[in-house]
Structures are given as structure tokens and as C-alpha cells.
């Protein structure tokens, strides 16, 4: 472990890097279940079989725990007690705060002022120290750098980091291992692209499926970047899928270009309908970001075995207010 801590990844994760990340984090995380639903299969209408990877049931309520813990364990020796800092709309912030707590480190989380209260509460519950900023990528990045300068903490980018990508890849590794049928297409939500890049690599090394990125039409920078071949930042994202409002990471972009089959755009109405269907038919409480993969899978009209990553389950719950 000590040798691994001294050598954070500086290149695209290999097959061995992903397996090492999985061994490293497995003692601390849940091996989340594969969820199937006859009702959801019927709603698809094509005869496809859907296999949902339930990472909304992961530690901290999202897949982000995988990458954050892998990065923290890998960088702990270099942190030398100064802790870690990141910027996040919520899920990665909570995950980093949790991972830092697991290793006895401090965590400093920069969050946009419009972050959901549920995600703010999650960060504080794991002992993270929050600094709020304006809800723009520029403000998040500059504030995180200021906090880093003040504290000496190691900056762990929420998605543009190879150790993060290797950790996120373990969700798809498990999906491929645990699904009862060989998957032919895997649907993965995309915001910053850490999950999608990791899924694409895991499938490249361990599977044979097509990988489809699923993005809100109101935050379509990954779609534009993928189809133009030029990295394009997000502008004024207004989607209910708050976890998918971030710009595609520079390290993730070439991985996605090479190993992802396509990116599909989902309307806000599709996201809302898919979210309602998951909650009502499977009784799984997912956040709107997780509905992106579901919405795209329900469009799929080929008889195939489909994998869908349910990426998180953190959202405000105020039905009686």
C-alpha cells in the first residue's frame, strides 16, 4: 500500500490500475446490487432486459465514493496531514469528506451557492469544511485554489483526475461481473465525465458492450465536444440533474472519444418521467442525475441486455412542506 501511495496515476488507467483500485477500495465500500425489474423491461417494450447497477446505495449515496477513496488512499502519504480540498456540487464533496474521515485526514469542500441542501448536509455530516462560491466553474476552481494555498491541502479534482477515473471504473467492472447475462449496451450519465470515462475503460478491458453517455439537453457540452471533436465548456446549464451540470474534464475527453460509442441527449421531461418510473416501479430512490441513463435505456428499441448505472440517490426530500 505504501508504494502505491507514492505513485498517483499520471496516465490513462490500465487494466491493472483498475483492478488495483478495486482491491484498494473494496474493504471500505459496498458492492452495490444489480437490480432488475420486469415492469421496467415491459416499459422498454422491445424485449430488452435491463440491469441497473445500484450505486445510489453506495457509501455517501453515490458512485463518487469509489473515485474519492481511491484518490485519497493513493495520495495520503503525500498529504502529510494537511488534508484534501476539492470543488463539488455535492456528491464528490461528500465522498471526499467521507474518504478523508476514513483515513483520518481533513477535507475542505468548495460548493456552489445553489447546491442542494441535502448535499450540503451530507458534506457536513462527514466532517467536511465548506466554503461557498458563485455557481460557476471558474468560481469553483479559483476558490478551491485559494483554499489549497491557505491550507496546504492536496487538490483532488472531482472528475479530471486519473485516480478518480480508475476508482469510478470499478462500478462498471462490478456491473460486468455481476450481471446475469452478457451486456450488449451500457448507459452511463455524464457530467464531468469521470464515471463515463471509467465505464468506457472498464468495458474496453473487461467487457464487449457499447457504452452510451447520457446527458441532459440543457447541459450538452459532452455531446457537443464528442461530436465536434473539440472540447467545449458547458454554458448556463439549467437541468434538474444537478450532478450533470459540470463541464467535461480534459483528461476524460480523449478517453470518451476513443471508447464511447455515442452520447445521447435527454429532455427535462424525459428525465422527470424516468425518475418517476424508477421510484414507482423499482422502489429505488435515485436522484434526477441517475434518471439520465434510465431515460436513454427506455428509448432503446433493440432486443439486448442493457446495463444502466444508477449513479446517485442524494436529493432534497420535502414532501410535507
Question: What is the number of structural domains in the chain?
Answer: 2
Which among 118, 135, 155 is the end of a domain?
155
Are 203 and 214 part of one and the same domain?
yes
Are 49 and 116 part of one and the same domain?
no
Asked if residue 216 belongs to a domain, the reply is yes
Are 115 and 12 part of one and the same domain?
no
Are 39 and 165 part of one and the same domain?
yes
* DSSP 8-state code for residue 243: G
- Tell me: the pLDDT tens digits for 6-49? 479 999 999 999 999 999 999 999 999 999 999 999 998 889 99
Are 137 and 196 part of one and the same domain?
no
d(CA 195, CA 101): 23
Are 295 and 198 part of one and the same domain?
yes
Name the residues annotated as catalytic.
64, 89
Are 219 and 121 part of one and the same domain?
no
Grid cell in block for residue 257: 472519444
Asked if residue 317 belongs to a domain, the reply is no
Are 186 and 289 part of one and the same domain?
yes
**Closest C-alpha to 298, from 46, 44, 42:** 44
- Tell me: the pLDDT tens digits for 195-244? 999 999 999 999 999 999 999 999 999 999 999 999 999 888 999 998 89
pTM of the model: 0.94
Percent composition of the chain: helix, strand, coil (DSSP 3-state, to 5) = 50, 15, 35
- Tell me: the pLDDT tens digits for 117-161? 888 998 999 999 999 999 887 899 999 999 999 999 999 999 999
Domain residues for the domain of 138 are: 64-155
Are 302 and 173 part of one and the same domain?
yes
Are 171 and 147 part of one and the same domain?
no
Are 120 and 104 part of one and the same domain?
yes
Amino acid at each position: 500500500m505504501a508504494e502505491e501511495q507514492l505513485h498517483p496515476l499520471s496516465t490513462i488507467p490500465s487494466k491493472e490500475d483498475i483492478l488495483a483500485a478495486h482491491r484498494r477500495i473494496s474493504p471500505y465500500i459496498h458492492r452495490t446490487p444489480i437490480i432488475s425489474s420486469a415492469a421496467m423491461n415491459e416499459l422498454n417494450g422491445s424485449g430488452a432486459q435491463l440491469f441497473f447497477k445500484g450505486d445510489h446505495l453506495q457509501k455517501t449515496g453515490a458512485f463518487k465514493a469509489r473515485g474519492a477513496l481511491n484518490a485519497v488512499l493513493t495520495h495520503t502519504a503525500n498529504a502529510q496531514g494537511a488534508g484534501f480540498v476539492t470543488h463539488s456540487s455535492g456528491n464528490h464533496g461528500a465522498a471526499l469528506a467521507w474518504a478523508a474521515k476514513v483515513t483520518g485526514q481533513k477535507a475542505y469542500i468548495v460548493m456552489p451557492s445553489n447546491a442542494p441542501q441535502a448535499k450540503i448536509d451530507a458534506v457536513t455530516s462527514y466532517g467536511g469544511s465548506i466554503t461557498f462560491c458563485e455557481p460557476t466553474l471558474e468560481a469553483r476552481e479559483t476558490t478551491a485554489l485559494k483554499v489549497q494555498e491557505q491550507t496546504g491541502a492536496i487538490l483532488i479534482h472531482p472528475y479530471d483526475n486519473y485516480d478518480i477515473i480508475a476508482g469510478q471504473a470499478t462500478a462498471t467492472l462490478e456491473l460486468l461481473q455481476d450481471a446475469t447475462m452478457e451486456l450488449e449496451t451500457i448507459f452511463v450519465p455524464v457530467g464531468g465525465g469521470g464515471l463515463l470515462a471509467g465505464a468506457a475503460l472498464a468495458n474496453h478491458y473487461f467487457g464487449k458492450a457499447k457504452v452510451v453517455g447520457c446527458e441532459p439537453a440543457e447541459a450538452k457540452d459532452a455531446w457537443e465536444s464528442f461530436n465536434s471533436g473539440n472540447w467545449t465548456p458547458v454554458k448556463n446549464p439549467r437541468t434538474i440533474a444537478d450532478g450533470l451540470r459540470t463541464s467535461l474534464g480534459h483528461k476524460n475527453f480523449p478517453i470518451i472519444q476513443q471508447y464511447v460509442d455515442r452520447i445521447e441527449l435527454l429532455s427535462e421531461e424525459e428525465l422527470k418521467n424516468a425518475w418517476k418510473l424508477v421510484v414507482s416501479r423499482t422502489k429505488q430512490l435515485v436522484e434526477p442525475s441517475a434518471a439520465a441513463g434510465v431515460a436513454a435505456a427506455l428509448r432503446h428499441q433493440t432486443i439486448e441486455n442493457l446495463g444502466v448505472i444508477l449513479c446517485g440517490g442524494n436529493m432534497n426530500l420535502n414532501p410535507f412542506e
